[in-house]
């Protein structure tokens, strides 16, 4: 790329008379586009006082191939406003296919119709490539009848036309119709197969997607990406990682940006830090440019694995950053208990003239919630609409209610719910219920629980809470009824830990692991040491009608404790133990993890559904405010 900059400088500063500047510009913009360097592509384009159609086509292609669809449409409009390079009739298939692809990706229906009108005016409507792009665009913006009409009227169809029809049916949710077209195709190529796999995956029909994937006569990286992304998007993260490993072992194909983004997303959810670090090193070894999408995914993976220093390193290394990049770091700092740094990063973001998004404010509100900074949190909440014209969503109200409830300001929290401009959902009421539990406001809690059950009669958390209230007031029959209703409703607690590049999964009382005997031996050993250190199991949390010793046994078999025990027997002394749990960590496991970290002299990082807990030397990063 150094030579590219030198040639570019020569073009801009010292034009060579024998060279046609437009030809050189087209070449340079093409190289910039291939290397995802849009900043320099725009600089080259801007160096020409009157760029011709070929230069416009080059910049449109550079934007389009790097998914910068907004600027693709913007520069196309500039071209049309300038006379289309000498008149709209001069627009060619390269111009039109680039902008139609952008309209399809943006689902910009009105803009797409305008471009369609330009296509007709230019006389390119019967061009095979342009018509295929038109069909694709109309399907993706929801104009299905126009797309089908264009296909039916085609005098000549190629494999792209058929693939576009299949893709359009899949995008519209007509995957069975797409399969009928697919089965009737005389000729199929890799695009045909991968489109059907993606279509099934997007509908959540992963069995049919995998069957087609396995039947494919050959596969390229796009096909593998379709199946891997399907698993990741349907929360089958372990399957996504397994298929990625198989891709490496049997295909000999090199993963691309799309592959890495899907796998990094799976690593984020499972806490598969070792694999995420391998991908980081792979990017460096392969000298891949850290694109915006891969950079965001990599930073997000580190943040969600509790490695905020590495997340910030990736962020600082990225040449291009968008609001998602900044929001990832702010949310990551908030989740890991670094509230002040999150606020500082937000100010830094504003200094870079970057406007925050709804997600940015979710991170700021979460930071205030976990740090107990209620007044500051309310200031940020008010700032959304007053300064940035962002209308708060129900999630933001839920965060504010949670913040007030954790701080014991239950009256304010309930008043905030009453003043919401939209219907409060289960999450909002649940945040207030959590405050009622913390501050033992039984009367308010019972009322709130009934509100939740009106919205969701099968809400297990409310039923468990009511069972506790009824039991404490002697209403034993009502308590038993609530417990009975929760048995089939509760989401089972599940914890994951990665050891030697393999993610191990544990449920409460799990005895399916090959090293079960050693795990439970470690549990027994820890219980003895913890009791000597002053640990007292919180048996009041166990709702079952069993004796105290059985309640202690039940608590010791929580999924996060099993994962921690497995980490202790499977990793060298001093290694950080990282566990991910699908639910909120319970009070007993939280206290146990603090004591275990001191007993074994190890740091334990536990990520639950709301935040990170970094346990070290008998203390937690949350300062017991969670």
* Statement: residue 624 has pLDDT above 80: no
Q: Is the dihedral of CA 250, 256, 259, 264 positive or negative?
A: positive
| Over residues 579-608, mean pLDDT | 90
Is residue 342 in a domain?
no
* Statement: residue 8 has pLDDT above 60: no
| Over residues 588-592, mean pLDDT | 90
Q: Is 620 helix (H, G, I), strand (E, B) or coil?
A: strand
**pLDDT for the residue numbered 497:** 93
Least confident of 114-123, 260-269, 380-389, 404-413: 114-123
Is residue 590 in a domain?
yes
| 38 pLDDT tier (thresholds 50, 70, 90) | confident
**pLDDT for the residue numbered 85:** 44
Closest CA to 502 of 514, 486, 487: 514
Closest CA to 582 of 238, 254, 312: 238
* Statement: residue 124 has pLDDT above 90: no
Q: DSSP secondary-structure letter at 88?
A: G
Closest CA to 543 of 477, 488, 465: 465
Total domain count, the chain = 1
The CA distances from residue 474 to 422, 447, 465, 543, in Å, are 37, 18, 15, 14
Gap between the Cα atoms of 238 and 564, Å rounded:
20
Is residue 546 in a domain?
yes
| Over residues 178-201, mean pLDDT | 80
| 89 pLDDT tier (thresholds 50, 70, 90) | very low
| 161 pLDDT tier (thresholds 50, 70, 90) | confident
Out of 181-190, 243-252, 561-570, give the one with best mean pLDDT. Answer: 561-570
Q: Determine how β-strand 604-607 pairs with β-strand 577-581.
A: parallel
Q: Determine how β-strand 577-581 pairs with β-strand 502-507.
A: unpaired
Gap between the Cα atoms of 169 and 150, Å rounded:
14
Q: What is the mean pLDDT of the chain?
A: 86
User: Token pair 């209308």 is at which residue?
Assistant: 391
| Over residues 575-593, mean pLDDT | 89
| Over residues 601-623, mean pLDDT | 88
Is residue 551 in a domain?
yes
Is residue 457 in a domain?
no
Top-confidence residue, 10 or 492: 492
The CA distances from residue 205 to 166, 376, 384, in Å, are 16, 45, 39
Q: In 385-500, at which residue ranges do the beta strands (DSSP E only) sit?
A: 494-499
Gap between the Cα atoms of 379 and 535, Å rounded:
40
**pLDDT for the residue numbered 10:** 46
* Whether 378 contacts 416, CB under 8 Å: no
* Statement: residue 194 has pLDDT above 80: yes
Is residue 157 in a domain?
no
Helices (H), 35-68: 38-46, 53-65
Give how far the C-alpha of residue 444 lies from the chain's centroid of Cα atoms, to the nearest Å: 36
| 49 pLDDT tier (thresholds 50, 70, 90) | confident
* Statement: residue 162 has pLDDT above 80: no
Is residue 531 in a domain?
yes
Least confident of 186-200, 257-271, 314-328, 384-398: 186-200
Taking the model in full, what pTM does it have? 0.72
Domain that includes residue 572, residue range: 494-620
Closest CA to 392 of 420, 355, 364: 420
| Over residues 30-41, mean pLDDT | 86
Is residue 230 in a domain?
no
Q: Which two tokens stand for residue 598?
A: 């001191």
* Whether 59 contacts 45, CB under 8 Å: yes
């Amino acid at each position: 790329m150094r030579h590219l900059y030198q040639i570019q400088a020569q073009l801009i500063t010292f034009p060579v008379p024998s060279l046609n500047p437009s030809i050189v510009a087209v070449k340079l913009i093409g190289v910039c586009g291939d290397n995802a360097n849009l900043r320099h592509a725009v600089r080259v384009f801007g160096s020409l006082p009157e760029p011709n159609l070929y230069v416009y086509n080059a910049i449109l292609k550079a934007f389009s191939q790097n998914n910068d669809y907004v600027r693709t449409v913007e520069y196309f409009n500039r071209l049309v406003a300038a006379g289309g390079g000498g008149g709209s009739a001069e627009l060619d298939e390269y111009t039109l296919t680039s902008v139609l692809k952008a309209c399809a990706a943006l689902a910009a229906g009105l803009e797409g119709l305008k471009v369609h009108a330009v296509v007709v005016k230019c006389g390119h409507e019967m061009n095979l490539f342009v018509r295929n792009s038109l069909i694709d665009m109309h399907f993706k913006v929801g104009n299905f009848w126009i797309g089908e009409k264009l296909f039916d009227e085609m005098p000549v169809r190629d494999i792209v036309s058929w693939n576009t029809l299949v893709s359009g049916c899949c995008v519209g949710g007509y995957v069975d119709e797409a399969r009928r077209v697919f089965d009737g195709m005389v000729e199929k190529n890799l695009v045909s197969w991968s489109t059907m796999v993606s279509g099934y995956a997007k509908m959540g029909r992963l069995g049919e997607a995998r069957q087609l994937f396995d039947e494919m006569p050959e596969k390229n990286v796009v096909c593998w990406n379709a199946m891997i992304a399907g698993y990741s998007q349907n929360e089958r993260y372990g399957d996504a990682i397994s298929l990625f490993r198989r891709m490496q072992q049997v295909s000999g194909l090199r993963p691309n940006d799309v592959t890495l983004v899907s796998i990094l997303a799976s690593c984020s959810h499972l806490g598969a830090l070792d694999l995420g670090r391998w991908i980081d090193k792979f990017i460096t070894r392969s000298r891949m440019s850290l694109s915006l999408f891969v950079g965001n995914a990599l930073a997000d993976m580190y943040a969600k694995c509790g490695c905020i220093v590495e997340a910030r390193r990736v962020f600082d290394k990225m040449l291009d950053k968008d609001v998602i990049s900044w929001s990832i770091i702010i949310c990551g700092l908030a989740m890991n208990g670094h509230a002040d740094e999150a606020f500082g990063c937000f100010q830094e973001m504003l200094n870079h003239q970057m406007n925050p998004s709804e997600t940015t404010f979710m991170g700021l509100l979460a930071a205030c919630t976990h740090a107990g900074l209620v007044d500051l949190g309310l200031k940020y909440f008010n700032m959304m609409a007053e300064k940035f014209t962002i209308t708060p969503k129900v999630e933001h109200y839920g965060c504010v209610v949670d913040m007030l409830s954790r701080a014991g300001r239950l009256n304010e929290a309930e008043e905030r719910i009453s003043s919401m401009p939209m219907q409060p959902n289960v999450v909002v009421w649940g945040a207030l219920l959590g405050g009622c539990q913390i501050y033992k406001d039984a009367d308010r809690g019972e009322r709130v629980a009934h509100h939740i059950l009106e919205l969701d009669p099968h809400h297990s958390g409310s039923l468990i809470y009511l069972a506790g209230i009824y039991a404490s007031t002697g209403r034993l029959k009502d308590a038993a009824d609530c417990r009975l209703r929760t048995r089939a409703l509760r989401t089972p607690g599940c914890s994951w830990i990665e050891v030697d590049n393999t993610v191990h999964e544990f449920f409460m009382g799990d005895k399916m692991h090959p090293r079960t005997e050693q795990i439970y031996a470690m549990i027994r050993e820890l219980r003895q040491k913890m009791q000597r250190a002053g640990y007292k199991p919180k048996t009041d949390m166990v709702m079952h009608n069993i004796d105290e010793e059985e309640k202690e046994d039940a608590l010791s078999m929580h999924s996060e404790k099993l994962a921690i025990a497995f980490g202790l027997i499977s990793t060298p002394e001093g290694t950080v133990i990282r566990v991910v749990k699908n639910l909120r960590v319970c009070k007993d496991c939280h206290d146990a993890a603090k004591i275990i970290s001191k007993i074994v002299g190890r740091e334990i990082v536990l990520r639950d559904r709301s935040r990170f807990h970094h346990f070290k030397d008998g203390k937690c990063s949350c300062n017991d405010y969670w």
